Structure 1
Amino acid sequence: MRQWLIDKRGNLSQEFVAAESGISRGAYSNIENGKRDPSVTVAKNIGKVLGFDWTIFFEDKCFETAHYQPAASNS
């Protein structure tokens, strides 16, 4: 569950936030309950409606990766 998102929604209904974000209430409910992750577009829309930085949806999913660099050729 994304309690922070419920807190951000405050007294607004899920139906209102969903409609303003361009998604169904069921889809919004799944995002709020942590059953689904929003697309970047939907995250931006929800952030705009509720007045927060949309990247918060993805902060705990980010990680650093090493880039593969092939060995130099001896040709």
Structure 2
Amino acid sequence: MREWLRSKREFLGLTQEEIASRAHIQRAYYTMIESGRRNQSVKVAQMIAMELNFNWIIFLNFKVTK
């Protein structure tokens, strides 16, 4: 679980749907990223990070292992 990602989104008062829409991805895909079930591309990481106002590099520290 990427608790830090969920906390950041909730702190800003945004829904998963809003972040997904702004990042141009499906809400289900965003949900899997936030829950830690999927990794995202660099481009998607950058778009999410831009919307939530953090450095996208943090995603590299929290990769999902299969």
| Range into which the TM-score falls when normalised by the shorter chain | 0.7 to 0.9
Mapped partners of 1:60, 1:26: distance in 2? 19
Structure 2 residue runs of 5 or longer lacking an equivalent are none
Where does structure 1 differ by over 6 angstroms across 4 or more consecutive aligned residues?
none
Q: Any conservation in 1 of the 2:2–2:62 contact (CA below 8 Å)? A: no
Q: TM-score, normalised to structure 2's length?
A: 0.88
Amino acid at match of 2:7: D
**CA–CA distance in 2 between the matches of 1:30 and 1:14?**
11
**Counterparts of 1:24 and 1:55, CA distance in 2:** 22
- The alignment-based identity, stated in percent, is 46
Q: Does 1:7 align with 2:1?
A: no
Matched pairs, number: 61
Could you say which structure has the larger radius of gyration?
1
Q: TM-score, normalised on structure 1?
A: 0.77
Query: Unaligned stretches of 5+ in structure 1?
Result: 62-75
Which residue is equivalent to 2:25?
23
Bigger share in helix: 2
Aligned CA RMSD, in angstroms, stands at 1.0
